[in-house]
Structure 1
Amino acid sequence: MLKHLLAILLLLAFPSAVHSPAAADDRTAGQVIQEEIWALPFPLPVLAFLVRPVGDGPFPLVVMNHGISLEANQRTMFPAIEYRDAARWFARRGYVVISPIRYGASSLDDKDQGLYGAVFAHVGSCDNPNFRGPGLAIATLNEWVIDYMSKKKMIQPGKVIVVGQSGGGWGSIALGSLNPSSVQAIITFAAGRGGRVDGKPNNNCAPDKLVAATSEFGRTARVPMLWIYAENDSYFGPELTMRMHQAFVEAGGNADYRMLPSFGTDGHFMIDFAGAVPIWSPLVSQFLEKHSATAPPLGQPVNGPSAQREPPSKPPRLRLPENIHFSTWKKLCFASSDRTNICRSTSTATDDLDQIVARVDLIERADGPARLQLFVPQGANLQQGVKVTVDQGSPVQVPFTWCLTNICIAARGIEPTVAAQMEAGQQLKLELTDLYSSSVTIKLPLSQFGAVHQDPPAETFDFSLTEE
């Protein structure tokens, strides 16, 4: 975990305008960009890689879905950020690009950190695979991302492009079957599921059932799509993907299918390489122009002087908005595809613009101890953590585990007595101190917590493997 934190801190230390030699036309796309890591405080929180033009915007949004590795040893080798050059290509053309880092699919998955834990990517046995469910789970996450980002001032509402690779591309197709009104177009690279059983090329888990699931998505999908594959894709070869496309279109789906020449040793990973950008980018540009999904013209200052604003040289002060609104407590539970059940009793503090100021999660897993997880504003003294007190009781010190571009996260395992105190208490107090030794206090009401914590969940998200 320490190596991942170090990588993120290094990334944030150098956020902008490092131009890669991705493609010749990249050098003419003059948008200055910056890269960030965000925490997205969803019902099931995630981290996300974000790259965006410098300036206030507003900009259209691109949501990028990465691929999937279900084998634990392989996940340790997966980078936190895939297809970085592809994301930067979109950002230099005026899009805000966000890529949520999903559970059970990357090197950052760590259930003991509290932020992660629910796996929703397994398709089950090849005898009876569930291709549809994991695709819709990714679609659900995308809906959360779009809803959250659309409330940001820098985002143009109703102008969203979704891009996905491999299993992330399959999830993007699943999203298209839901026809979200804000999504203008979907672009997939090497999309599919169940590829390379036992590591053998072109050995899909259940090709006929994958085609059938593709047809089912096509029955309701009406969002314009561009499907890109390479001839030497060892996961989803030409014969299988042409069958998928035919089934999708015959069912009513709207997808333009493009087969590109062989790329490298395995075209399945084409989007991960800078050298592939000149190959696929003309197709993508034409597709976006056709569907009126292009970003505003480049080369113009965005909202005047703010586009050239320098980052502050001093550490930020810890400030709270004048008005804070507290949600009622809610219990949400998750059944994951690794058969782990997780429940979160949660309350959120927001400002007048519905932006999250703070959030408290009591996380309880069926296979481990409870954890207290806190989302708090930037600017706190990270060495001191957050002091948590129920009414006039003894404080609990919660250390920071992540501090990202948009928010800081503190978490620790807790004894059952803490949950009992919260059930009997009236107020949960969070105390933070910044580097200037000034402090702020956030007080969340607990009057509803006991009943909510003891009652059945208000909502259950089922990412488990179920028969269809």
Structure 2
Amino acid sequence: MQPPEPFSILFAALILSAMIAAGPANGQKVPTGAQAGEPEIALRGQREARDIRFGDWEKVCFKPGGAKMVCRTTISGSFNTGQTAVRVYLTEREDNSGARLQLFLPVGLYLPAGATLTVDQGTTYRLPFTWCLTNTCIAGDLADLNLLHDMDSGKKLLLQVVDTNLLSVRTLLPLDQFATVRRGAPARVFEQDIDE
């Protein structure tokens, strides 16, 4: 057996030292997932998202076979070009086991900032972006019961996001029909019978 070449030993030592240097410093806290609090960014200003036309709130339910019904209360807003600017989904199960709030927004946003919702200048709620497709990004989480209560009794929902220029972009969504539609009968029910 031949002794290792000096170049091989030097190369291995360099790789090992690079791996050690790339690790966290002794005593340094390593993040373990999503961190609480607001993202640390300095906004450069704000602007209104203009020319968004919102439709009416609508409730659509799905009943798969013998399972409990799932209902979605939704509103969409579009630009003058017809492109969807924002879509809000509140998804609730028939057994009231919790609700999920999702916002579908166009790409080109600063994702770490998430989206914020404020009803009638009250408490601000933050929704993190969960994933993006080629034509939309989705912010969503379990719906806070206080937010749902505020939306039921509120008039306007302020939606704010941050674009890639670090400008806060905001728009107002109407809430005047929200509680009536959410608590009322669905506009459509899609049933699926499953034969086994």
TM-score by length of 1: 0.30
1:365 aligns with 2:93: yes
Do 1:333 and 1:343's aligned partners in 2 also have CA atoms closer than 8 Å?
A: yes
Q: Aligned ranges for residues 278-427 of structure 1 at < 5 Å?
A: 322-337=50-65, 339-366=67-94, 368-427=97-156
Q: Aligned ranges for residues 455-466 of structure 1 at < 5 Å?
A: 455-465=184-194
Q: Aligned ranges for residues 22-61 of structure 1 at < 5 Å?
A: none
Aligned to 1:445: 174
- The amino acid that maps onto 2:190 is F
- The amino acid that maps onto 1:440 is V
**Counterpart Cα distance in 1 of 2:161 and 2:189:** 33
C-alpha offsets along residues 282-317 of structure 1, whole Å, 9 cap, x if unaligned?
Answer: xxxxxxxxxxxxxxxxxxxxxxxxxxxxxxxxxxxx
SS of the aligned residue for 1:453 comes to: helix
**Counterpart Cα distance in 2 of 1:335 and 1:446:** 26
Aligned to 1:428: 157
C-alpha offsets along residues 109-161 of structure 1, whole Å, 9 cap, x if unaligned?
Answer: xxxxxxxxxxxxxxxxxxxxxxxxxxxxxxxxxxxxxxxxxxxxxxxxxxxxx
Percent of aligned positions that are identical: 40
- What stretches of structure 1 of length at least 5 have no aligned partner? 1-318
User: Greater helix percent: which structure?
Assistant: 1
C-alpha offsets along residues 158-211 of structure 1, whole Å, 9 cap, x if unaligned?
Answer: xxxxxxxxxxxxxxxxxxxxxxxxxxxxxxxxxxxxxxxxxxxxxxxxxxxxxx
Q: Which has the larger radius of gyration?
A: 2
Greater length-normalized contact order (CA 8 Å, ≥ 6 residues apart): 2
SS of the aligned residue for 2:113 comes to: coil
- What stretches of structure 2 of length at least 5 have no aligned partner? 1-46
User: Greater strand percent: which structure?
Assistant: 2
| CA spacing shift, 1:338–1:440, aligned 2, 3 Å | farther
- The amino acid that maps onto 1:377 is P
- Quote the offset at 1:465 in angstroms: 3.1
Q: Aligned ranges for residues 149-168 of structure 1 at < 5 Å?
A: none
| CA spacing shift, 1:390–1:464, aligned 2, 3 Å | farther
SS of the aligned residue for 1:383 comes to: helix
Do 2:54 and 2:76's aligned partners in 1 also have CA atoms closer than 8 Å?
A: yes
C-alpha offsets along residues 222-264 of structure 1, whole Å, 9 cap, x if unaligned?
Answer: xxxxxxxxxxxxxxxxxxxxxxxxxxxxxxxxxxxxxxxxxxx
- Quote the offset at 1:415 in angstroms: 2.9
Q: Which runs of 4+ in 1 moved over 3 A?
A: 319-322
Aligned to 1:261: none
SS of the aligned residue for 1:419 comes to: helix
| CA spacing shift, 1:321–1:432, aligned 2, 3 Å | closer
TM-score by length of 2: 0.70
Give me the CA root mean square deviation.
2.3
- Quote the offset at 1:320 in angstroms: 7.9
